[in-house]
A and B are shown apart, each in its own frame.
Chain A
């Protein structure tokens, strides 16, 4: 069945290292979202794309975070350099703009920065 996939599921790294998270949206969905979830801040929208073009990345720390969609089947979120405060669960979600308003979430990447 169709679902959003994310890799890796868990990542432990040391401060200063580069982290890359990947997402494969549901085939045919034209909108992809990146969220970060922590106990303190809840679910925060970092960035989202429509038809592979970035629409809004105002929620993302620009100095260290970057998000791209190299093609329609792959979205990436990169943190360089990583910091302990980046520890969180990062969710990717996809949806179809103009159709069903539901966002389908992937299983998330649990990031721990030591």
Chain B
């Protein structure tokens, strides 16, 4: 079992819809959780991080964390074609050591 699991997709949503991306992790001691976005041929860039159970909102993005279920999600509201990318879930297992999931490819259709 991989430490951080994501559905590889592709996930296809129409423009203006909500895109929902999910991630599970295996290390119960993990404290910090991240969502990175990676455009094709580019390097990953941080969208959001979350430490506490519940929701964290930043503009059109909402990260949700449920430590009991070892589950992290990212919601993108009002999806735009420019949101089309691969979204990487990442987990800090301690001491800044970060494990990435394989990523979910998102396509937003205009």
A contact residues vs B (CB 8 Å cutoff): 31, 33, 35, 41-45, 48, 50, 55-56, 91, 95, 97, 101-103, 105-108
Mostly, the B contact residues are strand
- The interface residues of chain A lying within 8 Å CB-to-CB of B88 are 42-43
Given contacts A42-B101, A56-B97, contact A103 B46 (CB under 8 A): yes
Q: How far is the CB of A16 from chain B (nearest CB, A)?
A: 28
- In the assembled complex, the Cα of A50 lies from the Cα of B29 at a distance in Å of 21
Asked if B102 and A42 make an inter-chain contact with CB atoms under 8 angstroms apart, the answer reads yes
Asked if A45 and B43 make an inter-chain contact with CB atoms under 8 angstroms apart, the answer reads no
Asked if B46 and A106 make an inter-chain contact with CB atoms under 8 angstroms apart, the answer reads no
Asked if B100 and A42 make an inter-chain contact with CB atoms under 8 angstroms apart, the answer reads yes
- The interface residues of chain A lying within 8 Å CB-to-CB of B42 are 107
- The interface residues of chain A lying within 8 Å CB-to-CB of B96 are 31, 48, 50, 55, 95, 97, 101
Contact with A42, one of B34, B43, B46, B103 (Cβ below 8 angstroms): B103
Closest to A50 in B: B96
Asked if A101 and B43 make an inter-chain contact with CB atoms under 8 angstroms apart, the answer reads no
- The interface residues of chain B lying within 8 Å CB-to-CB of A103 are 46, 98
- The interface residues of chain A lying within 8 Å CB-to-CB of B61 are none
Size range of the chain B interface in the assembly: 10 to 19
Q: How far is the CB of A6 from chain B (nearest CB, A)?
A: 9
Asked if B98 and A45 make an inter-chain contact with CB atoms under 8 angstroms apart, the answer reads yes
Asked if B46 and A48 make an inter-chain contact with CB atoms under 8 angstroms apart, the answer reads no
- In the assembled complex, the Cα of A106 lies from the Cα of B46 at a distance in Å of 13
- The interface residues of chain B lying within 8 Å CB-to-CB of A44 are 100
Closest to A95 in B: B96
Closest to B103 in A: A42
Cβ contacts A to B, 30 pairs, < 8 Å? A33-B98, A41-B102, A42-B100, A42-B101, A42-B102, A43-B44, A43-B88, A43-B102, A44-B100, A45-B99, A45-B100, A50-B96, A55-B95, A55-B96, A55-B97, A56-B95, A97-B96, A101-B34, A101-B49, A101-B92, A101-B96, A102-B46, A103-B46, A103-B98, A105-B43, A105-B44, A105-B45, A107-B42, A107-B43, A108-B43
